[in-house]
Amino acid sequence: MKVALLNPPWTFEHSIYFGCRAPHLPIELGASKTLLERAGHATLMRDGLLDELDIGGMAEACAGFAPDMIVVTTAPTYLFWRCAQPELRLPRMLLDALRVACPHATLVAVGPHGSATPDAALRKLGADIVVRGECEEVVLALANGGVPGEVPGTAALQPDGSIRANGGPQATRFTDLPAVRWPDHWVARHHHHHHRFEQPHQGSGHDLPGAEVEASRGCPYSCSFCAKIDFRDSYRRRDLVPLLEEIDALRAQGVGYLYFIDEIFLPNRLLLEALVGRGLKFGVQTRIDLWKPEMLELLGQAGCVSIEAGVESLTEAGRAELDKNCKLSTDELADRLIMAKQHVAFVQANLIQVSGDDPAMVTAWRERLLAAGVWANDPVPLYPYPSSPDYRKLFGLPDAQAWERAHAHYLGLFDRMSDIQDDTPLPLAELESVCRR
């Protein structure tokens, strides 16, 4: 089968989206491509930003390939599935263009939207199939001739307008995922170093390409705000051999900085020891309470120049309310962050807006960390994503109106957005007007 794998040319006007807007490698598509080609299928992979294609250009490229099946992701890479833009405007526009350019191809949508609310996503997108959960093995099953709606983790629109579905979200085995290879011209254009903020004199290779990799998938914790119930939930660690093969291939393509997209980069002595001496810089997202002093030192020796550590609330009660299951006190967390700064050039403590955190206390804690060189953000509001425990506490299980309900709740709670959001977010119905015709 001929399968096209597409990442739309993302834009986020008037969205509440607070993820990074720079181009990143679409790992879900790259991993799918790896499994498809290993099984003998022909693939075409295009990324709107990295290939510098608009919607018309992507549709034209697809038409030239004449695919049997086209896979479109509804969020810009796995890295941002857990904080995706709520609106499906851009994927719908791309799918509309593909329906015209490739009228005989089956249109498949993958991503967090269809994972949480498959019926609503199918109807908003106008796709033939949505995949629930991690997509690589489901896409392969469809390419191998699996029947849409019978393959586990698929929901398919039927000729009479009904939806045929089989089972809930799927999880890819992942641990033995072969090395993913990326086109040379993508790597050459990938100038973005995700979450890298140290000064150039503190770390080399700022002028070299960046890239994203994953050493693990999922998280053993169940924090109430984290949108991972329907994908990338259970923790799995990738085998070291294919991971290092992928990293070395990126090095050979000129990459100087990696960002591990892992939901939580847990201490992994074998990986860190393997990275020592490879000459790479990298960034991670983790929990500082899980790192002992000797492992923080090894993390720095391995090349880590950026830590984003979720602290969330500055009270033990607040962290307990968020189901953080954190064993350290607030002072101990601060001490551990300051210790990390001795080995890693940039360390950030993530805070979120929690009702019990006194603003004066937050200000004093941030000032203490800033004086030690650790950056702590101005607490940001939470979006109750349908795949998060918080959504289910507020509204129950997600239904066809789940994204609209979450969006209206979010916009009604706050009188200002964070400094990385658009300052005039619109209601979801307006953002998705193209999906409702």
Residues 214 and 320 reside in one and the same domain: yes
The number of folded domains in the chain is 2
d(CA 7, CA 393): 32
316 found inside a domain: yes
CA distances in angstroms from 311 to 89, 126, 187, 325, listed in the order given:
33, 40, 33, 11
Residues 156 and 238 reside in one and the same domain: no
Q: What would the pLDDT profile of 222-237 be if each residue is shown by its tens digit?
A: 999 999 999 999 999 9
Residues 193 and 288 reside in one and the same domain: yes
387 found inside a domain: no
The string of DSSP letters for 298-361 reads HHHHHTEEEEEEEEE-SSHHHHHHTT----S-HHHHHHHHHHHHTTSSEEEEEEB--TTS-HHH
Q: Which of 166, 199, 231 is the last residue of a domain?
A: 166
Residues 216 and 154 reside in one and the same domain: no
pLDDT of residue 412: 87
Amino acid at 133: G
- Give the CATH number for residue 142: 3.40.50.280
Residues 214 and 152 reside in one and the same domain: no
d(CA 319, CA 352): 10
Residues 60 and 202 reside in one and the same domain: no
pLDDT of residue 199: 72
49 found inside a domain: yes
pLDDT of residue 355: 77
CA distances in angstroms from 266 to 269, 289, 295, 322, 346, listed in the order given:
10, 10, 10, 20, 18
Q: Which of 110, 139, 166 is the last residue of a domain?
A: 166
What's phi and psi for 221, nearest 5 deg? -100, 165
pLDDT of residue 357: 83
Q: What would the pLDDT profile of 175-215 be if each residue is shown by its tens digit?
A: 999 999 999 999 999 999 999 998 765 557 788 999 999 99
Low-confidence ranges of the chain (pLDDT < 50): none
Residues 223 and 304 reside in one and the same domain: yes
| pTM, full prediction | 0.95
Of 14, 159, 147, 139, the closest CA to residue 69 belongs to: 139
d(CA 97, CA 105): 12
Residues 129 and 223 reside in one and the same domain: no
Specify whether the CB–CB gap between 129 and 156 falls below 8 A.
yes
Specify whether the CB–CB gap between 91 and 110 falls below 8 A.
no
388 found inside a domain: no
Q: Which domain holds residue 209?
A: 184-376
417 found inside a domain: no
Residues 191 and 115 reside in one and the same domain: no
Residues 222 and 360 reside in one and the same domain: yes
d(CA 44, CA 26): 13
Residues 155 and 231 reside in one and the same domain: no
* Ranges of H-type helices in 1-116: 27-38, 55-65, 89-101, 112-116
Q: What would the pLDDT profile of 412-434 be if each residue is shown by its tens digit?
A: 886 666 655 656 889 999 999 98
Q: Which of 325, 356, 376 is the last residue of a domain?
A: 376
- Give the CATH number for residue 327: 3.80.30.20
Residues 297 and 330 reside in one and the same domain: yes
pLDDT of residue 21: 92
173 found inside a domain: no
409 found inside a domain: no
